[in-house]
Amino acid sequence: MQSDYISSFSFDARLAPYDIAGSIAHVQMLAAQKIISASDAKKIISGLNAIEDDLEKGKKLPAAEDIHFAIEQELVKRIGEVGKKMHTARSRNDQVALDLKLFTRTAGKLLVQKITQAQTAILNCAQKNPQVLMPGFTHLQHGQPIFFAHHILAYGWMLQRDKERFEDLLKRLNENPLGACAFAGTAFPIDRAQTSKLLNFKKPTENSVDSVSDRDFIAEFIFACALTMTHLSRLAEEMVIWTSSEFGYVTLPDHLTSGSSIMPQKRNPDTAELVRGKSARTLGNLIQILTILKNLPLSYNRDMQEDKPPLFDSADTTLASLEIAEEIFAGLKVNAKAMEAQCKKGFLLATELADYLARKGVAFRAAHTIVGKIVSDLRSTHGPENLEDLPLSKLKSYSPLFEKDIYPFLSPRNNASAKNSYGGTGAKALAIQIKNLKKLLK
């Protein structure tokens, strides 16, 4: 066996600040309950604080089986035998559960903040470009014209749900597992309410077996990261498509692109590609954590040590990718001309022709068939894709109900502007949407 096979130190060392905070609260409680003396507690706490100071200065602890042993061994090295009292009425099982909750809480709050920053960048970009029109897509085929601002705000709402998912899981992890000990509790007269208060938890967990077995909060966190990354990956994919020569809708800020070692003209959208690529590992992490947990008998099992790499990786990857998303929107150059030129292609206003007939009393399905025929004839004769260019006589040959007043409706801009149903792309609806999102970001 390799000597470090069972060790988690190479990846759990970053739990040190949480481990120390948990130990300090534990020792304060032990002293208050007279389980250890006040003077012993003082020595232990000042030893722990000194270790923390050194870690903050960049000093490394000697390797051990895990971060919990590493800190305890360092403490005993520094303050002597009294350091060995720290672990009274505690196990590494409740200790590690606590550390993980503290880490997840901190990471979750940071993610909430980063999401808000990315949303703010989206909102600013939308407000800077209120008039830019673009083709809206389904199946990556031209659908109907919409405002660019409306399209990108869709990401603002996806991120809003992501943020609420993190906030929601933070509510559920707000119970303190410390004091569950190995899994059965302890006969020492500990005060779990006190450590809960000291560590900012709402209350102690209710069942000591569950307390050391539960990693739901990690699975939920990793899921919330995976879904956030799925959203960012869709955004990244659009950036890759939109920056291509074929589209040319947007230009990414220089610092988010990179060149090629051989092709001098290249400005590749590498950061967007990497958001898309890195999203894969967050999905992998989700499978990993659920697979680790699914066959575990109660209570603690060493398999659970493997919960850390996917947790940390999901947190780090999502955090860094949110920063990229924020930078994308902060520096995005929007090529309104290229988008608007595309609005003249792909029969973007075909639905409007059908709506026009429907407003004149034709059943919508029948109107749909008439316009379908117009479009298929134009396709086979290579006629104009911009329906504004069709003469009235031509339209009338398909339905006598078409009149001159159809033409204002056949402008992509008028068309999009008129879609003011709640949540629609029209300017009035868009203003309400922006107001509502802004309110949430305050």
Residues annotated as catalytic (active site), given as ranges: 139, 260
d(CA 120, CA 326): 8
**Using CB under 6 A, which of 8, 233, 318, 399 touches ligand ARG?**
8
**Which of positions 96-125 make contact with ligand ARG (CB under 6 A)?**
96
Which residue number, 239 or 304, has a Cβ lying nearer to ligand ARG? 304
Q: Judged by CB under 6 A, which stretch of 106-114, 122-130, 297-305, 401-409 contacts ligand ARG?
A: 297-305
Q: Quick one: which of 103, 148, 183, 300 contacts ligand ARG (CB under 6 A)?
A: 300
Q: Which stretch binds ligand ARG (CB under 6 A): 52-60, 92-100, 108-116, 189-197?
A: 92-100
Residue type (1 letter), 171: K
430/424 Cα distance (integer angstroms) = 7
Q: Write down the least CB distance from residue 299 to ligand ARG, Å.
A: 10
Question: Which pair of tokens denotes residue 6?
Answer: 């069972």
Amino acid at 314: S
What are the phi and psi torsion angles at 333 (to 5°)? -95, 125
Candidate ranges 78-86, 90-98, 144-152, 284-292; the one touching ligand ARG (CB under 6 A): 90-98
Q: Measuring CA to CA, which residue among 352, 345, 440 is closest to residue 385?
A: 345
Contact status: 176 vs ligand ARG (CB under 6 A): no
Q: For ligand ARG, which stretch binds (CB under 6 A), given 162-170, 236-244, 299-307, 373-381?
A: 299-307
| Separation in Å, CA 13 to CA 18, 59, 308 | 10, 12, 11
- Least Å from the CB of residue 281 to ligand ARG: 21
58 torsion bin: left (phi>0), alpha (psi -120 to 50), beta (else): left
Residue 31 to residue 16: CA distance in whole angstroms: 22
Q: What's the chain's Rg over C-alpha atoms?
A: 30
**What is the nearest approach in angstroms of ligand ARG to the Cβ of residue 104?**
14
Rounded least distance, CB 285 to ligand ARG, Å? 16
Nearer to ligand ARG, 89 or 239 (CB): 89
CA distance linking residue 380 with residue 402, whole number of Å: 22
Number of residues that bind ligand ARG (CB under 6 A): 11
Candidate residues 104, 282, 299, 305; the one interacting with ligand ARG per rule CB under 6 A: 305
Across-strand partners of 334?
A: 250
- Identify each DSSP E strand in 4-96 by its residue range: none
Asked if 181 touches ligand ARG (CB under 6 A), the answer is: no
The residue among 130, 16, 14 whose CA lies nearest residue 73 is: 16
CA distance 11 to 82: 28
Residue 92 interacts with ligand ARG (CB under 6 A): yes or no: yes
What is the smallest separation between the CB atom of 6 and ligand ARG, expressed in angstroms? 8
Q: Strand 250-251 and strand 203-204: pairing?
A: unpaired
Q: Which residue, 92 or 278, has its beta carbon nearer to ligand ARG?
A: 92
Contact string (CB under 6 A) for ligand ARG, positions 23-62, x = contact: ----------------------------------------
Residue from 19, 40, 66, 94 touching ligand ARG (CB under 6 A): that is 66
Work out how close the CB of 21 gets to ligand ARG at its nearest, in angstroms, rounded to a whole number. Answer: 17
Least separation, in Å, of the C-beta of 306 and ligand ARG?
8
Angle, alpha carbons 159-164-166 (nearest 5°): 95
Which residue number, 44 or 218, has a Cβ lying nearer to ligand ARG? 218
If the CB atoms of residues 162 and 307 are measured against ligand ARG, the closer one turns out to be 307
Judged by CB under 6 A, which stretch of 107-115, 166-174, 192-200, 300-308 contacts ligand ARG? 300-308
- Per CB under 6 A, 208 contacts ligand ARG: no
Report the residue number, 68 or 192, with the smaller CB distance to ligand ARG. Answer: 68
Which pair of tokens denotes residue 351? 């639905």
Residues 10-29 that bind ligand ARG (CB under 6 A): 12
Is 302 one of the binding residues for ligand ARG (CB under 6 A)? yes
Minimum CB distance to ligand ARG, residue 300 (Å): 5
Other Cβ atoms within 10 Å of 28 Cβ, number: 18
Q: At a CB cut-off of 8 Å and minimum separation 6, what does 131 contact? A: 147, 336
Amino acid at 433: Q
Range 42-48 contact pairs with CB under 8 angstroms and sequence separation of 24 or more = 43/79, 43/82, 43/83, 44/75, 44/79, 44/82, 44/83, 44/85, 44/86, 46/79, 47/75, 47/78, 47/79, 47/83, 48/20, 48/23, 48/24, 48/75
183 touches ligand ARG by CB under 6 A:
no
Give the residue with the Cβ less far from ligand ARG, 8 or 213.
Answer: 8
**Please, which residue, 93 or 211, has the CB nearer to ligand ARG?**
93
Residues that bind ligand ARG (CB under 6 A): 8, 12, 66, 68, 92-93, 96, 300, 302, 304-305
